[in-house]
Amino acid sequence: MYALADCNNFFVSCERVFNPGLNGRPVIVLSNNDGCAVSRSNEAKALGITMGVPLFKIRDIVEKYNVAVFSSNFALYGDMSGRIHQTLRQLAPAIEIYSIDEAFLDLRGLEQTDLDAFAKKASAMCFKNTGIPVSVGVAPTKTLAKIASKYCKKRPELQGGYFLHQKEDIREILKTVPVEDIWGIGRRYSQKLHTYGVHTAADFVSLPPEWVQKQMSINGLRTQNELKGESCIDFLGIVPPKKQICVSRSFAREMYDTGKISEQVSLFTSMVCEKLRRQKSACHQVIVFLLTNRFKEESPQQYESRMFTFPVAASSTLEINRVVLKELSFLYRKGYGYKKAGVILTGIIPEDAVQLNLYDNLDRVKQSRLMKVMDQLNERIGHGTLAVATESREGIKMNRQRLSPQYTTKWTDIPVVKSSR
Amino acid sequence: MKKVVKIYKPTEEETELPVVDGVKCGFPSPAEDFSDMRLNITREIVKNPASTFYARVSGNSMINDGIGDGDILVVDKSVDPYDGCIAICYVDGEFTLKRVERHNDHLMLIPANKAYKPIHITEDNHFTIWGVVRYVIKKL
């Protein structure tokens, strides 16, 4: 059996923990640079605010219904997410972190326990420890666990937990799940399925397996089997090292100055390299990209990237940064207003599998010692304590005008409790 | 096309030699088996890291319980509120720090300073106990 623990309206719920006055009110949290609504309270959903809608399109509703609007406070959400995972780890032999607000639990071996009670208890414990409402679905497969979790989200009487296992129950619930809500079926496939008259998960399950495999490959078949209660998707207790790592950001406004852009891109490089070393890897290629603002049609447009291949897989910020800045200088054009830039590392291999090159002229042992010191200092004293001279010292300039305090990660931001009434 | 091959000679830098731990001539330190035991204050006061939060006090209504302006509270949300606990309460739109007393049909929030009055809580109030205070950290 598997469980999926999914935090309800996670970012909004995090804001509400430290600001209980937001309970019962419509609340939304915006994406980076305050662009679109990425988390909505149930009250906000009821007002018709859809996922991903740009803020400028809903200004009227926000004003009319006094919707509380927040910038993304990732320091807070990351910390709260860690607390949820810590809580779940006490309950299950193994957990797989699926995203910032979702985790699978491996319950194999716990079949003898009352799993409906288990689901409710897990939800209650998460709420008690953190104040975040969590929906826990338990089922024979991961795909069904997702459905069970979503099912109990809409039904408060289930107290945050539901064990979906009886054949009849599964059959009934699948009739109510639209195909586009099934985990693993993308938008393209659901459109296709609709044209064939397949609208619900129940319709999908009744399709001939041969047809599913032919039209949707082995992955579609796997999803179908999962919905029938046959577990096909492995439990990934340990997250495999990523094959590609990227740090990219939109700028608060267009940037024209090569110096300023280089500073930002240098900072991205340093962040992405830190991620690379944290997962104990090295990379063969680095890609740099630079984009203008596609919404400003009257301005000159450019979307270009350049790739560089290292003779020996690299992991040093100094080495990679040098290459990135050179590639960037080939991309940059004067007079263009750049809105977004990024650095991608690919061709990633474990650091202990780096093939040395006879003609390599870099002292890799020395570099790796230097990077170790840099990473340790930055971890202990704070990011940017030791940095490459070209990198921006002011951090990434983001529009975050409605940012709440970092209640759990900064001493100057911890909640203040009045003791004066 | 002509290819240039660069040949490097070994550097003349100092080379560090690793020190082997096992080969020592003196008497082995009797304290060796007891390393790693230095006291860690966080481990002592944070029993449940997942549910422990910090907050700062503003005001002196709890001064006679030893909690003053600017002190840091260590709050464990997983602790069940009990009669007489000191807790961060959310009352009618704001956080306040008080001792919580259970009475028959209501709660009393008791300050520890004569200048302040107890707060009477009934079902009509918007009230929750946000977390029970476990420790107070104050700078002297």
For residue B61, which residues of chain A lie inside 8 Å, CB to CB?
419-421
Residues 6 or more apart in contact with residue B50 via CB below 8 angstroms = A83, A84, A86, A87, A129, A130, B78
CB contact under 8 A, A128 and B57: no
Q: Note whether A410 and B90 are within 8 A (CB).
A: no
Distance between CA atoms of residues A196 and A186, nearest Å: 16
pLDDT, position A421: 74
Residue A23 has pLDDT above 90, yes or no: yes
pLDDT, position B6: 52
Nearest to A67 by CA among A77, A80, A57, A78: A57
> pLDDT digit string (tens) for A231-259?
888 766 555 566 788 998 888 888 999 99
For residue A86, which residues of chain B lie inside 8 Å, CB to CB?
49-50
Q: Note whether A108 and A1 are within 8 A (CB).
A: yes
Residue B45 has pLDDT above 60, yes or no: yes
> pLDDT digit string (tens) for A60-74?
999 999 999 999 998
Q: Are strands A416-418 and B52-58 parallel, antiparallel or unpaired?
A: parallel
* B98 classed as catalytic: yes
Distance between CA atoms of residues A417 and B55, nearest Å: 7
Q: What φ, ψ does residue A105 adopt, rounded to 5°?
A: -115, 135
List b or e across B21-53, with b for residues whose CB sees 16 or more CB atoms inside 10 angstroms: eeeeeeeeeeeeeeeeeeeeeeeeebebebbbb
Catalytic residue chosen out of the listed positions B3, B77, B98, B139: B98
Q: Which residue has the tokens 């080495």?
A: A319
Average pLDDT of chain A is 89
CB contact under 8 A, A414 and B116: no
Nearest to B87 by CA among B108, B64, B113, B114: B108
Q: What φ, ψ does residue A387 adopt, rounded to 5°?
A: -140, 165
Of A21, A130, A414, Cβ closest to residue B93: A21
Q: Note whether B134 and B79 are within 8 A (CB).
A: yes
pTM greater than 0.80 (yes/no): no
For residue A131, which residues of chain B lie inside 8 Å, CB to CB?
77, 130
Nearest to A251 by CA among A146, A342, A366: A342
Selected residue of A364, A419, A420, A421 to mutate for chain B interface (largest B Cβ count, 10 A): A419
The string of DSSP letters for A56-123 reads GGSHHHHHHTT-EEE---HHHHHHHHHHHHHHHHTTSSEEEEEETTEEEEE-TT-TTS-HHHHHHHHH
Q: How many CB atoms lie within 10 A of CB A283?
A: 24
Distance between CA atoms of residues A262 and A265, nearest Å: 5
CB contact under 8 A, A419 and B96: yes
Q: How many CB atoms lie within 10 A of CB B59?
A: 21
Identify the three-state secondary structure at position A30. strand
For residue B137 the two structure tokens come to: 């950290």
Catalytic residue chosen out of the listed positions B61, B78, B117, B138: B61
Segment A164-177 shows an average pLDDT of: 93
Q: Note whether A143 and A173 are within 8 A (CB).
A: no
Q: Closest Cα of chain A to B68: distance in Å?
A: 8
pLDDT, position B3: 54
Distance between CA atoms of residues B60 and A418, nearest Å: 9
> pLDDT digit string (tens) for A110-158?
888 899 999 999 999 999 999 999 999 999 999 999 999 999 998 999 9
List b or e across A188-208, with b for residues whose CB sees 16 or more CB atoms inside 10 angstroms: ebbeebeeeebbbbbbbbebe
Binning pLDDT at 50, 70 and 90, where does residue A202 land? very high
The string of DSSP letters for A145-193 reads HHHHHHHHHT-GGGTTEEE---HHHHHHHHHHSBGGGSTT--HHHHHHH
